[in-house]
A and B are shown apart, each in its own frame.
Chain A
Amino acid sequence: MNRLAVELPGLSLKNPIMPASGCFGFGREYAKFYDLSVLGAIMIKATTLEARFGNPTPRVAETPSGMLNAIGLQNPGVDKVLAEELPWLAQYDVPIIANIAGATVEEYVEVAKRISQAPNVHALELNISCPNVKKGGIAFGTVPEVAAELTRAVKEVSAVPVYVKLSPNVTNIVAMAKAVEQAGADGLTMINTLLGMRLDIKTAKPILANVTGGLSGPAIKPIAIRMIYEVSQAVSIPIIGMGGIQSAEDVIEFFYAGASAVAIGTANFIDPYVCPHIIRDLPPLLDELRIHHISECTGRSWNNGQTVYCGT
C-alpha cells in the first residue's frame, strides 16, 4: 500500500505533493532537474483566454522569509496552452490541475470549457485570488456572492472537478469557503498570496513596478495554517493547502490543520529539487510520528485523530 497516495475529487494522487500554480511555469524548466512523474500533480500557471504579457519589471522584491511578486498572470493564452503545453506535459504520468483566470465571468467560463477537455487535465483551479491584475482575479475572490456565482458558472461547463483558490485578503475566509462550497465547488485550494508592498529606501518609491504584490514564502505559513484550520472545520470538501511550505514537516503541519494534499510554491524558486526531496522525506517522517498513512494526519489538530476526509 502506498502510504502517501491520496484520493481527491478527480485526482488519484500517488502522493499529496504538487507544485503550486505560478511557481512552476508549465513544468518545462523543472523537467531539466528531475522526472516530473514523481509528482502527485502539477498546478500549471494561470491561463487566460488571450495571451498576457503581465506587469512591467521589477516584478519581485524580497522580504524577511518571503517574497513579493507582481507577475500579472503572464501566459500564452488558453489555445497555446492546449496546443503546446498540455500535450508536452502528457509525456509524464502526472495529473494536471489547470489554474484558470479571467477578467469576466464569460472569460472564466470560456477558458474552463476549453481547458477542461484536455485529457491530462484532471481538475480546474479557479483563480479568484490573484492580487496582481487590475480586472478580475481578486475582484471575484473577496465577495462571497460573486465568488459563488462564478463557481456555479464554471461548474456548469467544466468537464472536470473544480477547486476554488481562496484569497487570504478577506475579513472572513470561512464565509468565502462556505459560499463556493454551496455553489458546487469540489474542493478548495488555499491560500493565495497576501497583498503587500515594499519601498526603496533611497527613492522612497515602491520597489515593484506594480506598486503592490503578493507575499509568499515561509513568512505566510502561520496565516495559511490558521485559515486552513478554520475553513476545514466549516466545510466538507477537501482542501489542498499551500503557503510557505519548505519541508516534509511543514507538509504534516498543513495536514494537521486540515489539508488533504499540499502545493509547494516559492520553495521551488529556492531549490528546484524541493518537491522530490519532500516526497522522499515524508515516509521516514511518518515512521517517526508513528503514522501509517498520510491521510490520517488530515485535521488531526481538531478531530482527535479521526480521518475526516479519505476521499472517494
Chain B
Amino acid sequence: MKEHMTIISNRQIAKGVYELTLASSLVGRMRTPGQFVHVKVATFAPLLRRPLSLCDINHEASECTIVYRAEGAGTTLLSQKQPGETLDVLGPLGNGFPLSVLSSGQRALLVGGGIGVPPLYELAKQLVKNGVYVTIVLGFQTKDVVFYEERFASFGKTYVATVDGSYGMKGFVTDVIEHHALSFDVLYACGPKPMLKALQQQFPHKELYLSLEERMGCGIGACFACVCRVPHSETAYKKVCSDGPVFRAGEVVL
C-alpha cells in the first residue's frame, strides 16, 4: 500500500492549481473515485503526508492524476517536483463515492467547489461508463482558478459559477442549481464545508453523498485527528480519513 511512484508530469493548469500524473503498480489498487492518496513531500518539513484525492485513474497506463492547489508549504514544495523524480505515496485510502446506488439511465448531479472539483472527474467518468446521465456544476472563486470545464463537458452538461462573476454565472453552485432547476436521482459533492452545508439544506430529502475535508495526521484512522460528530450523540464519531471522506448527507454533523 506504499510505493515510490514516478512523476510523469506536474504542470500548472490554472492559477496556483497543478495537475500531477504519477505512475507505478500502486495504480492497480485504485478503483473508487473519492479515495485519496497520502503523499510524503519532504523528509522533515513538512513532516506529515498530504492527503490528495484521486482525479483520474488510468489502469492501462498504470497512471493516476491528482489535481492540487499549491497553497501551503507542502503543496508548494510538491509543485516544484520534476518529471522523473519519485514520490513516497501511501494509498489508496478512505472510502470513495458509492456508484452502485445508481443504475443505467438514472441521473446524477455532480457538484464541486474549488479544489473539491478533482475527485468528481473520475466519478463522472465511471458513472457515464455505467450508463448514468451526469450533470456537472463547478464553483470557483474567480476566473483565474477555473479548471477542467471542457474535460467535464465531455461527460455531460457542465455549468460553471464564480463568486465574483468573472466567469460563468455569478454566485454559488446552489444558485446555479436553483436557476436551472436541475433535478437528479443522486447528488455527489466535494468542496468547502459551507457549500456542503448549503447543499444539504437545499435538498433535505434527497440522496446526497458529500466528500469532506479535514486536517489529517495518519490518514489511516489511527491518530483521531480528523474526527467529526455523529448527529444526536455526545460520544459517537466518524473519522474522515477511514470512515469517509465520503459520507451520506446526515450521517455526520457538518
B225 contact set on A, CB distance < 8 A: 57-60, 69, 71
State whether A270 and B48 are in contact (beta carbons under 8 Å apart), knowing that A23-B223, A57-B228 are contacts in the complex.
Answer: yes
Contacts between chains A and B (CB distance < 8 A), count:
98
Among residues of A, the one whose C-beta sits closest to the C-beta of B237 is A53
- What B residues does A28 contact at CB under 8 A? 221
A-binding segment of B13-21, B39-47, B59-67: B39-47
B47 touches A74 (CB 8 A): no
Cβ–Cβ < 8 Å partners of B227 in chain A = 53-54, 57, 59, 74
15 sample A-B contacts, Cβ–Cβ < 8 Å, listed by A number: A25-B224, A53-B227, A53-B237, A57-B226, A59-B215, A60-B216, A62-B46, A65-B45, A69-B217, A71-B224, A218-B47, A268-B218, A269-B219, A269-B222, A272-B2
CB atoms of A269 and B217 under 8 A apart: yes
B217 near A272 with CB under 8 A, answer no
Q: Contact between B45 and A58 (Cβ–Cβ < 8 Å)?
A: no
B223 touches A269 (CB 8 A): yes
Closest beta carbon of chain B to A73's beta carbon, Å: 10
Tell whether, in the assembled complex, residue A217 and residue B47 are in contact, meaning their CB atoms are under 8 Å apart.
Answer: yes
With A51-B235, A52-B235, A59-B224 known as contacts, the answer to whether A272 contacts B218 (CB < 8 A) is yes
Interface core residue of A23, A74, A270 (most chain B CB under 10 Å): A270
Contact with B along A66-81 (1 / 0, CB 8 A): 1101010010100000
Cβ–Cβ contact A74 & B237, under 8 A: yes
Whether A29 contacts B220 in the complex (CB less than 8 A), given A62-B46, A65-B45, A272-B90, comes out as: yes
* Cβ 8 A contact of A67, one of B1, B217, B221: B217
Look across to chain A and name the residue whose beta carbon is closest to the beta carbon of B228: A57
Interface size on A, residues (CB 8 A): 38
Please tell me if the beta carbons of A65 and B229 are within 8 angstroms of each other in the complex: no
- Docked CA distance A60–B223 (Å): 10
List A contacts of B150 (CB < 8 A).
none
A65 and B45 alpha carbons, distance in the complex (Å): 6
B214 contacts A by Cβ under 8 Å: yes
Min Cβ gap A131→B in Å is 16
Q: Is B107 an interface residue (CB 8 A)?
A: no
Which residues in chain B, 185-225, are within 8 Å of chain A measured between CB atoms? 214-225
Binding site for B on A (CB under 8 A): 22-25, 28-30, 32-33, 45, 51-54, 57-67, 69, 71, 74, 76, 217-218, 266, 268-273
Is residue B234 within 8 Å, beta carbon to beta carbon, of the partner chain?
yes
Whether A65 contacts B224 by the Cβ 8 Å rule is no
Nearest residue in B to A208 (C-beta to C-beta)? B215
Once the chains bind, are B235 and A30 in contact (CB under 8 Å)? no
Any A CB within 8 A of the CB of B9 = no
Q: Find out whether the CB atom of A65 lies under 8 angstroms from the CB atom of B220.
A: no
Partner of A33, one of B1, B215, B226: B1
Minimal beta-carbon separation of B30 from chain A (angstroms): 16
**With the chains together, A33 CA to B229 CA distance in Å?**
27
Q: Determine if B221 and A25 form an interchain contact, defined as CB atoms under 8 angstroms apart.
A: yes
Q: B242 an interface residue at 8 Å Cβ cutoff? A: yes
Expressed in whole angstroms, the Cα–Cα distance for A64 and B227 within the complex equals 24
Q: When A54-B227, A71-B225, A74-B224 are in contact, do A66 and B215 touch as well, CB less than 8 Å?
A: no
- A269 CA to B38 CA, complexed, in Å: 10
Most interface-central of A28, A61, A62 (chain B CB within 10 A): A62
- B3 CB to closest chain A CB, in angstroms? 12
B224 with A29: CB separation less than 8 A: no
Bound form: Cα–Cα A271–B216 in Å = 14
Contact at B215–A60, with CB atoms within 8 Å?
A: yes
Q: How far is the CA of A32 from the CA of B219 in the complex (A)?
A: 13
Contact A66/B222 with A33-B1, A60-B217, A270-B40 known, Cβ cut-off 8 Å: no
- Asked if B218 and A64 make an inter-chain contact with CB atoms under 8 angstroms apart, the answer reads no
Residues of A within 8 A of B221 (CB): 25, 28-29
Do the beta carbons of A62 and B47 come within 8 Å of each other?
yes
- Look across to chain B and name the residue whose beta carbon is closest to the beta carbon of A60: B225
Apart from A30-B222, A71-B224, A268-B222: 18 A-B pairs, beta carbons within 8 A: A25-B222, A29-B220, A45-B224, A52-B235, A53-B227, A53-B229, A53-B234, A53-B237, A57-B228, A63-B47, A69-B223, A74-B224, A76-B235, A218-B44, A266-B47, A269-B49, A269-B217, A272-B2
